[in-house]
Structure 1
């Protein structure tokens, strides 16, 4: 009897393991299919997500105007025009000062290279002019050998730029319609769907909208604080381009992790070129301190009631998005991950709310009948 019981337990354990393995395979297959579908639908998804992000940013003034009896189309048009003026003004505010300083920056870059070469010639490196020229010739030869690859990459970059420009225009049109007809969308969607979908899909859409709004507001607040603190540091050190660099810090804050690294790198490089190595090290220390304040204090406080995504999830999402779709992927990775998290949490809630099938208690009479 003992061996038979052990055999039945082994078969039961084997069946349980096989069932769990099958379920894991199905989950992995569903994940792969979902990612594949997202990749195929990405040209449609990313203008929609961009439009939704811009809509969450501009919806409060539209809502204010509509509450004061402005027609929806007029309110959406006015706010969208003001948004375009602010966006274009921000780009001009960054590009014009940098362009005006371009000649001076070029001269300072040459001087900085010469200073770096003089430093490398001394201890502890002791790199002679002949060695430096040899390294330079080697780099030039490698660059010439890579001309074809560079040209191909440049053409691909130009194509990606125009593709991004077209998608941006589509996103702006979608943004206008979202601002104009947004409140009517969920009721309309509910009427178009059958059965339980008429409740579930609008509920998920409403939560996704809240998550996107939380993302935009939190990133804007954190970016503003970073820009103010770093801008004050650059101003105190006397960096000529402190204002464009502060604006760049605010704009790139909407790309989590990657944006902060890029803005910090640009600030350190420009400070090194214009003010020298000592000020560049001070700027680097300021940026590291601000980023530590952001990561350990600001982000947990601001986003604790927002997206609910762990920092590791954010980092993986940004890494995956940037590796697949470049800058656009890095920008949209966190909002897309937040919407996926919303869908998963809603699905888990619905499954948890299903009443369990509880067997009726056995009474004395039923036990007697048995």
Structure 2
């Protein structure tokens, strides 16, 4: 009898496992199809995501103007123009000092190359000028032989820049419409959805909007910390172009991992050609220390507190997103994980059993007698 019961239980457990596995397989297939469709529509989805990020940054000012009685179109127009002025100012802070000190940088690069040649000519390398000239001629021959690939690379770069400009313009227009008509979206969505979806989807969308805003603000705060600490270190060492490098560090912080590496590389190169190898190594040590604090302490703590995610989840999400989709994946990994957490928490709350409420004739439990 017991063997029969054990066999029945094993059969039931196997059927349950098979059913759960089949349902999980269906979910995975649906997710794969959704990602495929998303990839096919990426030229439209990416400007939409950028516009949402920009809207979360500029919405507090637009909301402030609307509360003061400004019409939505006027408030959105003013905020959009102010955003363009701030973006142009940031570009000017980077470009103007660099242009004014370009002569010094060119001289520094030439001096750095000369010092490199002198170092290579001495022990232990003992590389003569004829060998350096031969290596240079070989490099030029290879460059001339690869003109076709260089042209294709230039064409690809021009295409990338053009697509970036199109994305920026489209995102800017979408940001204006989001600022102007954003508060109408949830009521409109409520009217379009049937049944309980009219309640659930707008609630999840509102929570997702708050989560996205928290991510963008926390990323801006982390970038500000990087810019202040790295800029202070560059100023103490005496590296030129401190303000452009600090601004570049702040802007690059919105692209996790790669942005920090790019800004740090630029700072180290400028320190090398202007101050020498010792100061370049000091700058490298400063940048590595700040980036380690930012990546392992500041960013996980700030984002985990604002997004409701554990610091380890933030680190794993950035790593997974970067390995799957590069820079874009690293940028979108944390907000995507936070939005998934929002949906999961809402579903868990809705599917959990409601708390037990005593009936009208059910006696309440007696209060504990203090000892």
Range into which the TM-score falls when normalised by the shorter chain:
0.7 to 0.9
Q: What is the Cα deviation at residue 290 of structure 1?
A: 1.0
CA distance in 2, matches of 1:17, 1:256: 40
1:321 is aligned to 2:337: no
Are 1:204 and 1:342, in contact at CA under 8 Å, matched by a contact in 2?
yes
CA distance in 1, matches of 2:301, 2:10: 51
Per-residue CA distance 1:196-246 (angstroms, 9 max, x = gap): 221122122112211111111101111111111111111122222111000
What secondary structure is seen at the aligned counterpart in 1 of 2:305?
A: coil
Q: What is the Cα deviation at residue 31 of structure 1?
A: 2.7
- The 3 A distance-change label for structure 1 pair 65 and 141 is same
What secondary structure is seen at the aligned counterpart in 1 of 2:306?
A: coil
Q: What is the Cα deviation at residue 11 of structure 1?
A: 4.9
Matched with 2:229 is 229
1:44 is aligned to 2:48: no
Note the 1:1-370 alignment, pairs <5 A: 11=11, 14-307=14-307, 308=309, 309-322=313-326, 330-352=330-352
What TM-score do the two structures reach when normalised by structure 1?
A: 0.86
What TM-score do the two structures reach when normalised by structure 2?
A: 0.85
Matched with 1:358 is none
Q: What is the Cα deviation at residue 103 of structure 1?
A: 3.0
Are 2:53 and 2:213, in contact at CA under 8 Å, matched by a contact in 1?
yes
In terms of mean alpha carbon deviation, does 343-352 or 114-123 score higher?
343-352
Are 2:318 and 2:330, in contact at CA under 8 Å, matched by a contact in 1?
no
Q: What is the Cα deviation at residue 3 of structure 1?
A: 7.6
Q: What is the Cα deviation at residue 146 of structure 1?
A: 3.0
Are 1:227 and 1:247, in contact at CA under 8 Å, matched by a contact in 2?
yes
CA distance in 1, matches of 2:124, 2:130: 17
In terms of mean alpha carbon deviation, does 206-215 or 341-350 score higher?
341-350
- The 3 A distance-change label for structure 1 pair 116 and 40 is same
In terms of mean alpha carbon deviation, does 92-101 or 212-221 score higher?
92-101
Are 1:321 and 1:332, in contact at CA under 8 Å, matched by a contact in 2?
no
In structure 2, stretches of 5+ residues that fail to align are 356-371
- The 3 A distance-change label for structure 1 pair 9 and 72 is closer
CA distance in 1, matches of 2:44, 2:118: 53
Per-residue CA distance 1:109-144 (angstroms, 9 max, x = gap): 122122112222333333343443444344334333
Q: What is the Cα deviation at residue 320 of structure 1?
A: 2.8
CA distance in 2, matches of 1:77, 1:228: 31
The Cα RMSD (Å) is: 2.5
Q: What is the Cα deviation at residue 342 of structure 1?
A: 3.1
What secondary structure is seen at the aligned counterpart in 2 of 1:305?
A: helix
The count of corresponding residues between Structure 1 and Structure 2 is: 351
Q: What is the Cα deviation at residue 268 of structure 1?
A: 0.7
Matched with 1:362 is none
